Amino acid sequence: MPHRSDFQQGSRASGGVACLTSCQIPSIPILLNTQLQAVALQIQLNSRITVCYLYLPPSVHIEQRHLDDLIQQLPSPFFLLGDFNGHNPLWGSSDTNPRGCQIETLIEDHGLCILNDNSYTHFHQASHTFHTIDLTICSPSLAPFWKFSTSTNLFNSDHFPVVLTHIKNDPTFPKRPVKYNFRKADWPLFESLCQLTPDMVDKNSIDIAVNTITDYIITSADISIPKTSGNIPKLSKPWWNTECDTCQKTLEKAWYNFRRYPTTHNLIKFKKARAKFRQIRRRSMNTTWCSYVNSITRQVSSKIVSDKVRKIFGCYSDTQNISFLNYNGQVISDVKEIANVIGQTLSEISGESSYPNDFIAFKKCEEQKSVDFLPSYAEDYNSTFSYHELKTAIIKSNPTSPGPDHIHNNMLKHLGESLLTILLLFNRIWQERVFPLSWLKAIVVPIPKPGKDKQDPNNYRPIALTSCLSKLLERMVSARLMHVLERSKWFVPSQSGFRRRRGTIDNLLKLETAIREAFVRKKHLVSIFFDIEKAYDRNWRHGILRFI
């Protein structure tokens, strides 16, 4: 399976039909005004690239002006791929035909580049000979960053698949973020290296203390926990096993011998190996499918279930990447511009544009008054945090994505009891009422809303990844507040959301009960549902704290 940045051109036995087999790269079709058998589309990697597939029949005369007109219609930079049926020593042929001279003229007139590396692209079954008739022509700006290669397997065709691979050392090529591989972590080494001392907490500034502890944890993690490469992995096949691997190697060996010595005996051996490989693959797919589906049980976690279901449908997380946006009639493809547009859209939602003018005036007047809480340390909920509260919060922490400081909850769980006491730095933050500046930063990940247009910046839900240390303190504070609110019975009895041992299903059951009672008593039941758009984003946070 080629890399995500690869294009694979696999022509059928009749020739001329090419297909794009990369991982669902977003594309835009291009209308061509030509008499040639050509189809073009624009794909989005880090920038827009035009890909045009062309088939030139061997027995049909092609006028040079038609090829020139096609080149003029292709937005630069572009790839021109397909079965040209032309022979020329320029791309590795042993002879030259009129079609080859015509293509050579096209390349010279338009200053194009050909990426072929003299590899054979076609196998003529009647004569058992190999030829180079599938060409890859591109704009000069693309030639230094793309590598041409051919697959050694025909895949039931007479054309070898052509693979174009993006050179990964190009700094503009997008990669996955590098993450810690906790499966290969050396936790004893991590605990021994992460020597947190009380002196780190007693710094003059809370910001300095937090940064010092963060640096020690990250430095220890870099030594004891390996990281991922950042490369996009190949798509896995659940049905592939060792028997398939063995048969494929046998098939490749038979094909290699036939390519070197195209005799009838080697051809028969190759066809037998191919038939056996098809049989083994088909049998493995049938048996593995049953076991794969049966592995989805109620005992496995919801994440594993969702991952297995996505693999069944061929959906992977990489297909959710944002490649381009349509904003005010303009197509935006640059990564930084996409981030700025989404950030600006989210900022406008939380801005004052949706407020009435009289409320804006009142809001500005009230926000000039500072919000100051005078805590009463006599209350038990304002006391210092204990080690038991910290340990309970860490146990309940899920392995969520880290924030800008890269500290993961798995690291906090392996600090050890003696080192966890140092994290009671939270007590200093709690008593001095000074929140660290580094915890105010977050990584915002836009998640597309299901069923919405992904090119519209308004159809994204922002997820903020904050520091796990900050979320740990938040979890301890939330546990105290929930205890006080439940004990004092300050919650409305009908509220079910965000409460312990309750859920929104309780309200649905109450509604169902009311409907059934109305049917039994032959009465009318009136229900009113409110769906407030952007309710959380448009909340006046200062007002909530000011008038609480």
pLDDT at 126: 78
Encoded tokens for 444: 């915002």
Q: Does residue 213 lie in a domain region?
A: no
The amino acid occupying position 415 is L
Report the Cα 132 to chain-centroid distance in Å: 37
- Render 181-235 in DSSP notation, one character per residue: -GGG--HHHHHHH----HHHHT-SSHHHHHHHHHHHHHHHHHHHS-B---PPPPP
Q: Tell me, yes or no, whether 119 lies in a domain.
A: yes
CA 457 to centroid of chain Cα atoms: 17
Q: Are residues 458 and 334 in the same domain?
A: yes
Is 345 in the same domain as 299? no
- Asked which of 283, 313, 343 is the last residue of a domain, the reply is 313
> What was the pLDDT predicted at 127?
79
Angle at 459 between CA 356 and CA 403, to 5 degrees: 95
At which of 134, 166, 198 does a domain end?
166
Please report whether residue 511 resides in a domain.
yes
Same domain? For 130 and 10 the reply is: yes
d(CA 130, CA 120) in angstroms, rounded, equals 6
Q: Are residues 301 and 387 in the same domain?
A: no
pLDDT given for residue 235 in this prediction: 62
The CATH number for 99's domain is 3.60.10.10
Is residue 118 one of the residues assigned to a domain?
A: yes
Q: Are residues 480 and 495 in the same domain?
A: yes
Residue 305 domain flag: yes
Range of the domain at 78: 3-166
| Inside any domain, residue 73 | yes
Paired with 124 in beta bridges are 129
Question: Helices 264-294 & 302-312, crossing angle to 10 degrees?
Answer: 150
pLDDT at 303: 79
259 and 356 share one domain = no
**What crossing angle do the helices spanning 468-488 and 425-432 adopt, rounded to 10°?**
60
From the number of C-beta atoms within 10 Å of its C-beta (0-12, 13-18, 19+), residue 7 rates as buried
Pair (346, 490) in one structural domain: yes
Domain membership flag for residue 183: no
Q: Is 180 helix (H, G, I), strand (E, B) or coil?
A: strand
Q: What backbone torsions phi and psi does residue 29 show, to the nearest 5 degrees?
A: -70, 150
User: How far is Cα 32 from Cα 78, in angstroms, rounded to an integer?
Assistant: 14
Residues 146 and 261 in one domain: no
Name 323's Cβ contacts closer than 8 Å, sequence gap at least 6.
25, 26, 44, 45, 333
286, 313, 340 - which closes a domain: 313
Do residues 390 and 480 share a domain? yes
Name the β-bridge partners of 136.
81
Is the domain of 497 the same as that of 517? no
What distances in angstroms separate CA 399 from CA 179, 227, 409, 533, one per listed residue?
13, 16, 6, 31
- Per-residue pLDDT tens, the chain, 548 aa: give them: 333 333 333 333 334 334 444 444 667 888 888 889 999 988 877 678 899 999 999 888 889 999 999 999 998 889 999 999 999 988 888 888 999 999 999 999 888 999 988 888 888 877 778 888 899 999 988 888 888 888 877 777 888 888 888 775 544 455 678 889 999 999 999 988 888 788 877 777 888 889 988 998 999 999 999 998 877 666 667 778 888 889 989 988 898 888 888 888 988 998 899 899 999 988 988 888 788 778 888 888 887 888 777 776 656 554 455 666 777 777 776 778 888 888 888 888 888 877 888 888 988 888 888 877 777 777 778 888 888 999 999 998 888 889 999 999 999 999 877 778 888 878 888 888 888 999 999 998 888 888 888 888 888 888 899 999 999 999 999 998 888 888 888 888 888 888 888 888 888 899 999 999 999 999 999 999 888 877 788 888 888 887 66
Evaluate the omega torsion of the peptide bond into residue 77 and state whether it is cis, within 30 degrees of 0. Answer: yes
The answer to whether residue 220 is domain-embedded is no
Instruction: Report pLDDT for 26.
Output: 65
> Whose CA is closest to 121, among 147, 78, 143, 92?
92
Query: Both 484 and 387 in a single domain?
Result: yes
Query: How much is the pLDDT for 314?
Result: 58
Q: How far apart are CA 45 and CA 94, in angstroms?
A: 36
Report how far residue 385's alpha carbon sits from residue 232's, in angstroms, rounded to the nearest whole number: 43
Q: Total domain count for the chain?
A: 4
Q: Which long-range contacts (CB under 8 A, 24 or more apart) does 40-44 make?
A: 40/73, 40/74, 40/78, 42/75, 44/323, 44/324, 44/333
The DSSP line for 81-132 is: EEE-----GGGT-SS--HHHHHHHHHHHHHT-EE---S---EEETTTTEEE-
Same domain assignment for residues 374 and 411 = yes
Please give the pLDDT value at position 324: 66
User: 135 phi and psi, to 5 degrees?
Assistant: -115, 155
pLDDT at 322: 61
